[in-house]
Amino acid sequence: MNTFMMFIDEANDAAMYPVSKLRGMTCAGSGTILIQFDSSVNGTADGDADLVTLTVTAGAEKAVMAAIAKQLTTHVTGALVVCDDVTGNHCHADVSSCTITLEAIA
C-alpha cells in the first residue's frame, strides 16, 4: 500500500496524492509553502501540475517543510493528513490553511 498526502480546504473540496506524484515543496514567501504534484486531471505531458498552497506562520516555513518530510518518512502506509481546514487537523501547529488548485501551469 502507498503513502498518500491528504488536503481538505473546505467541505466537498479535497485532494489526496500518492507521495510518488510529489514534485516538490517551495517556500513562496513569508507564510506560504507551495506543494506541487503531477496533475491528477491531464497527466504531465503539457507541463500541468496540481498545486496545494499552505498558509503557515511567517518564519515557520522551514520547520513545516521539515516536519512534512519527516512524517512522510515515518508514515509507512495510508493517508497523512497534511491540512484539513474543516476539522482543523493539520500536520504541524504552524499550518493554518490550504488551497487546492488543479492543473496549475508548472
Entry pTM: 0.89
Closest to 97 in 3D by CA, of 10, 3, 11, 15: 10
Question: How many separate domains does the chain show?
Answer: 1
pLDDT tens digits, one per residue of 15-74:
999 999 999 999 989 999 999 999 888 766 667 889 999 999 999 999 999 999 999 988
CA–CA dist 18, 29 (Å, integer): 26
CA–CA dist 45, 35 (Å, integer): 19
Local structure of 91: helix, strand or coil: coil
CA–CA dist 96, 54 (Å, integer): 8
Map grid coordinates 504541524 to a residue.
Answer: 92
- Domain, as residue range, for 64: 3-105
CA–CA dist 20, 101 (Å, integer): 19
